[in-house]
Amino acid sequence: MVKRWWAALPGAVAMGFVGGSVAVSGLLSPAELFTAQAVRYAVACALLVGLARLAGRRLVRPRGAEWAWLLGVAGAGLVVFNVALVHGAGHAEPAVLGVAVACVPVVLAAGGAALERRRPSPSLLTAGVVVTCGAVLVQGLGRADAAGIGWALVVLAGEAGFTLLAVPVLGRHGPWGVSAWSTGIASGVFAVLALVVEGPAAGAGLGPRDLWAAAYLAVAVTAVAFVLWYSTVTRLGAGRAGLLTGIAPVAAAGTGVLLGGAVPAPPVWAGVALVAAGLVLGLTQGDRRRPLRSRAWSQGASSSTGGARW
């Protein structure tokens, strides 16, 4: 059981980075979306490739259907997710989009079990519901029109796709490979969109603040957080790892206090307690299988990449 908590630690740190980046992400809101994201993911990809070499993690070229899965991770989890957040903000209050993301633990608990071709664990589903309820209390509720609800559902799908679509390729590529390839693909997609929609001169409009924010997101919230997150998904499975997404809103609330915000109201503290309870329930109950170690798509992985496996 202690090993499970240690396996969850990288994912928890990753969600802490994500939650703490809310203020930095806001700095990019005035910038051209596609151009800023292209820069962000290009920097992250270059950093991942360089660090992988320094760490002795050899990256291998995708083959066959792996391209489709990685395109799905980049397309749904990075491109569509970010576009939905921006467009959804025009039709829904931030809390609505936050609530959509808060539903991810339940989706991953069900979706992870489906990928493993088994029934979802009742204890894991219960833990997912508890974490979701806690995250909703932390986030609060907001108003939205019909379009805002639609964008919130797209945000939820993108966030879930970021993890679920990576599962079939984590066995062969590991956290480093999936992170590097998905960020590289996303950077290319955003670059094309930037040229078509925003024009080739959009890059010149990025000021020092925009570049600083993009660099921070590229390093902490993308390169570092992606590897940490996929490490936990590899060891715990998508369903159990998904519970850790409840840490993001808690980290965001804590960061707000550290930056001079008001002390959270009692419902927020209740939400924090629920998130903690859900994590304890999900990480201490149920089977102890390590799903990615036993799947067909991971067979032969160690012989093809040497020391590049997690």
Using CA atoms, how far residue 72 sits from 36, 159, 185, in Å, is 21, 12, 10
Does the pLDDT of residue 129 top 50, yes or no?
A: yes
Please state, in angstroms and rounded to a whole number, the distance separating the CA atoms of residues 94 and 155: 12
Q: Where are the domains of the chain?
A: 2-22+33-289
Give the total residue count for the chain. 310
- How confident is the model over 66-87, as a mean pLDDT? 92
- How confident is the model over 37-61, as a mean pLDDT? 94
* Token reading at 95: 């809390």
pLDDT tens digit string along 83-96? 888 888 788 777 78
- Residue 92 backbone phi and psi in degrees, to 5: -145, 150
The overall average pLDDT reported for the chain is: 84
Please state, in angstroms and rounded to a whole number, the distance separating the CA atoms of residues 248 and 271: 12
pLDDT for residue 285: 76
DSSP 187-246: HHHHHHHIIIII-GGGGGG--HHHHHHHHHIIIIIIIIHHHHHHHHHHHH-HHHHHGGGG
Q: Note the pTM of the prediction, 2 decimals.
A: 0.85
Taking Cα atoms as reference points, which of 165, 80, 152, 124 lies closest to residue 283?
124
Comparing 46 with 85, the larger pLDDT belongs to 46
Does the pLDDT of residue 39 top 90, yes or no?
A: yes
DSSP 23-69: HHHHHTTTS-HHHHHHHHHHHHHHHHHHHHHHTT-------TTHHHH
pLDDT for residue 22: 65
Percent of the chain past pLDDT 70, that is, above it, reads 88
